[in-house]
Each structure stands twice: as C-alpha cells, then as structure tokens.
Amino acid sequence: MNFNELNLDTKVLKAISETGYTAPTPIQAEGIPPALEGKDVLGIAQTGTGKTAAFSIPMINRLIKGRARARMPRTLVLAPTRELAAQVAENFETYSKHVKLSMALLIGGVSFKDQDQKIDRGVDVLIATPGRLLDHVERGKLMLSGIEIMVVDEADRMLDMGFIPDIERIFKMTPFTRQTLFFSATMPPEITRLTQEFLSNPTRIEVARASSASNNIAQALVSVSSAKKDGLAKAKRDGLRAILAEESDTVTNAIIFCNRKRDIGILEKSLKKHGFSVGSLHGDLDQSVRMATLDAFRDNKISLLVASDVAARGLDIPDVSHVFNFDVPTHSEDYVHRIGRTGRAGRSGKAFTLASPAEAKYVEQIETMLKEKIPRKDLPGAVEKDPVSDAIEADAGTGTGRSKSRRGSRRKPSADIQDTSAADHQAQSTETENRREQRPQNADPVQPDSPRRHRNARGRDKEDRGPRVKGLGDHMPAFMLIPIPDLSKRTETGDSGIENRDAA
Ligand code: AMP
C-alpha cells in the first residue's frame, strides 16, 4: 500500500512525501481509513510504530475544512509528558506544513500568558498534558465543548502516572458526539474500562503483541557483581565503560537508563570525567534544561544521555544506536519502553542491561513477560560466570543453582540477607521516585515516607515482592535458626562460631 491510496488531501500527501516516507506503517494503513471516516479508533501500539502520524494525518485532513473559534479548540491531543506533547506538536507541524492550521501546546513549566493568547485567538489543534489543560479550564480560559476529535496517547503511561481521573474529567467536558482516537501500548483492566466507557464501537487495531520487544533490537544481559557491599555501582560504571569501549565502532549515540535520580548525576559526572560527551534528563530538571538537553542530543552535540524513565516512552530520537539499562527496570513493561528507544522505524539497535544478582527477580519478570530469555553476555574482560542466571535458577529450585547459592550463603549468611533487603528497599524508593517524578499536581500525593508508603512497603511482603533472590525461597534455612553464638568464645583458630557450626 502507499499513501496515495488512503484518500488524503493533496496538501497532506505532499507533506508526507517530503518527509521521505514511502509507505504507511501497519498502524497507519489500518488506522487512517477508519479515522478519516470519523470512527473511533483503539490503537494498541508501542512507540516507534508510527502511531503519531496515524492519528495526526487524518486529523489534519479533517481540519482543512472549517475554522476555529476563540477559546474553543476543535481538536485535542492529550499526552502524558511534556516532551511527548512537544514531539506530537512537531509531528503536526511536519504533516500540516502546506495547510493553514493553528496549534497550541499546553504544557507545564512554561508561562500561561503565551498559551492564553493562542487559545484566545482560536486553535484547530490543542496538544496538552492533562494537568496543564485542566489548569486552563479551571481558570475559565478554555472551553472543551467544541472538541470534534479527542486523542489520548500513551494511555497506559497515563495510568502509571495517576492521570486517569483527569482523563475521565476531560472526556466528560467534551461533547458526546466527538470522535475518539485512543492509543496504548498495553491494555491493563483500568484502560479497558476507560475505553468501554468513552469509546463508541471503536475499530481496534493491534500492530504488535503488547509487551513485546521489537525484533530489530539485539538484546544482551550482562551480569555485574561486586565482592564489596558498596562496590556495585562502581562495578556497573566500570562495566558500562567496558561495553562502550567494546562497542565503540558502532555506538553513535546512546541512552543510559538509571532507576534513581541520584545515580543519574553520579553516572553523568563519572562519564564526563572519563572523556565522554554526556548529558542527563530527569523529571527534577527545569523544563528549559530538559528541552535544551534533548535538542543537544538530537543534534549530536552530546552522544550519551543518562536518563530516568521520563525518556523511556514516546520520545522520538531517531538513530539511537544503543540503549543501556544501568539498572534493571523494576516494572517489566518499562524494559520494553526503554529498549524501544533504539531499533525504531525498521532500523537496528542494541540494548544492554547490566544486572546484579539482587536484580535477578526483575530480570525473571521481564523474561516471563517477553516469553523469551534475554541472551547473556559476559562483561568484557570478566572471568566471573553469570551470577544473575544462577540466582534465577536458584529461585526456580534447580539443583545446581540452589547449591551454588547455598555455598554463597554459608560463607556470609548475614551479608546475603542484607543484600536482598537492600535491593528491595532500593526498588521501593525507585518506584517512589519514578512515580513522584511525573505525578500531576492534582493527583493524590504519596510521599516516600508517609505512613501510607510504609504500609505499602510492608504489605509488599506477600503480594508483589516477586520471587526471592538467592535461594532463600519460602522456607527459612536451618542454619538461620541457630542462635548467634557469643563471639567472645571464639575457637583458637580464629573461626567464628557460625562458620564452625555451618561446616559441621
Ligand atoms: P512514533 O511511533 O509516532 O513515535 O513514530 C516513530 C518514528 O517513525 C518517527 O521517527 C516517525 O518519523 C517515523 N515514521 C512514522 N511514519 C513513518 C512511515 N510511514 N515511514 C517511515 N517512518 C515513519
């Protein structure tokens, strides 16, 4: 199929051909015709599939006829993050360059004044994040009663960020007769409920299995461990540089994802110190800094971007050759979104994940979701075998893994337990940071050390803690029940009582 068969206006076709696209992607081929007919569309598609064009092209085609009225936009696109909203706006500019359309971008971190002026003049397309849109409505500056088409992009991301009540409110402010184009990479029950309530007999298009990774991305899992309790981050930084050196012929630019904001700063400094051209991106940075960093990365002024999950979804940065997970994401679906930053629009890409034994449970969850094992790769120059796979095997109760794990425990039982709980603690604070990073102003705030968070932290024990890490399983190993001996009564050989008893 080619774009000429899609019944599009010649001005839109001209803009498409100028972008260099030769054929519609599957989501475009299947989604544009019903959208042009005015039908609701439910698109289950990841970023990188061309979904932005799948909704913006038919919208532009439809907006050619008619005129906008002051304060009453004709169409609305809701995106979860500022960067994604800005990117959607860029797409609209590209495809509508031969059409006279007015557009306004309503995102936080930017003054209301310019946005107000644009709305006052009347806009054909309003692209917004939910929080800022509602701010404008509440200030009485904006009416949604003229909306003809409403797009919800990255709905599952909206759910993660606590935006669903806002989306419901916004839906209810728009006319019942509107056309709705709704996109989500996955369909959790809460999203299904929303589509059942607000979409009318939608054309459902699923272009790739939800939660699947693109085939053009070569993935590798690299085990990193450290004998020193606090040496893991350093070992990962060393490991990352070793892989960057090994891949130096093919790394043109890369995004390196960390779970914690404080690690982003440390890693950025460390890479700079080692002579890399690097920038960072996370939710605590000022909007203007975030935009400037992204522009510098797009323009190849910096080649490495150390980022939180704020960069994982929706951002379209063409030609990213590599993605590195400095930490294993604690939510499996984030893995797909992170590695989806490479291998976009049919190109090939590589994704490396640095995993410590304490992160084995997250690796296992990701592999269960992917329904395949991530290929293992040795750390360049490493002598050590694969402790992450050992930990997964130990958890599954296979003979070899468990016995290896026991050996580890016997040598240093208490340290082992501390490692595991430290990883859990890290995971919890990570979740808190990631959620807080993008939490809308009017969402229910969950502070990291509020009583509610503590209750959740304890409640995790039985519910979503996932498989345990190092062979402790559900039962308490017998040696753990032996009372701690009085260390003052050491044997003459200097061994502690624990080791003597365990050896016996
Ligand atoms: P998206 O899924 O909307 O983030 O789009 C991912 C990338 O695909 C963007 O860089 C688009 O410019 C590109 N793209 C969209 N449609 C096409 C097409 N028909 N042919 C080639 N590339 C496309």
- Token pair recorded at residue 422: 């430290």
> How much is the pLDDT for 464?
30
Is residue 49 within 6 Å of ligand 1 at its C-beta?
Answer: yes
Pocket test for ligand 1, best of 6, 52, 127, 205 (most atoms within 8 A of CB): 52
Dist. CA 81 → ligand 1 center (Å): 19
What's the average model confidence in pLDDT over 455-465? 29
Superfamily per CATH, domain 3-206: P-loop containing nucleotide triphosphate hydrolases (3.40.50.300)
Is residue 387 within 6 Å of ligand 1 at its C-beta?
Answer: no
DSSP string over 414-456 = HHHHHHHHHHHHHHHHHHHHHHHHT--TTS----TTSHHHHHH
Nearest CA to ligand 1 atom 13: 50
Pocket test for ligand 1, best of 3, 17, 25 (most atoms within 8 A of CB): 25
Dist. CA 318 → ligand 1 center (Å): 9
Nearest CA to ligand 1 atom 16: 50
pLDDT in tens, 81-117: 998 999 999 999 999 999 999 999 999 888 899 999 9
Parts of the chain belonging to CATH 3.40.50.300: 3-206, 217-404
Is residue 43 within 6 Å of ligand 1 at its C-beta?
Answer: no
Q: Which atom of ligand 1 is nearest to the CA of 22?
A: 20
pLDDT in tens, 252-262: 999 999 999 88
Determine how many CB atoms are found less than 10 A away from the CB of residue 368: 11
Average pLDDT of the chain is 78
pLDDT in tens, 29-84: 999 999 999 999 999 987 778 899 999 999 999 999 988 888 899 999 999 999 89
On whether the 217-404 domain is CATH 3.40.50.300, my answer is: yes
Q: What sign has the CA pseudo-torsion 32, 34, 37, 38? A: negative
Pairwise CA distance, residues 243 & 353, whole Å: 11
Is residue 337 within 6 Å of ligand 1 at its C-beta?
Answer: no
Pairwise CA distance, residues 457 & 300, whole Å: 42
Burial annotation 261-295 (CB, 10 A radius, 16+ → b, else e): bebbeebbebbeeeebebbbbbbebeeeebbebbe
Nearest CA to ligand 1 atom 6: 48
Q: Which atom of ligand 1 is nearest to the CA of 24?
A: 19
Confidence of residue 318 (pLDDT cuts 50, 70, 90): low
Nearest CA to ligand 1 atom 5: 50
pLDDT in tens, 353-388: 999 999 999 999 999 888 899 999 988 876 555 666
Is residue 24 within 6 Å of ligand 1 at its C-beta?
Answer: yes
pLDDT in tens, 342-360: 886 667 889 999 999 999 9
Is residue 50 within 6 Å of ligand 1 at its C-beta?
Answer: yes
What's the average model confidence in pLDDT over 398-425? 34
Is residue 53 within 6 Å of ligand 1 at its C-beta?
Answer: yes
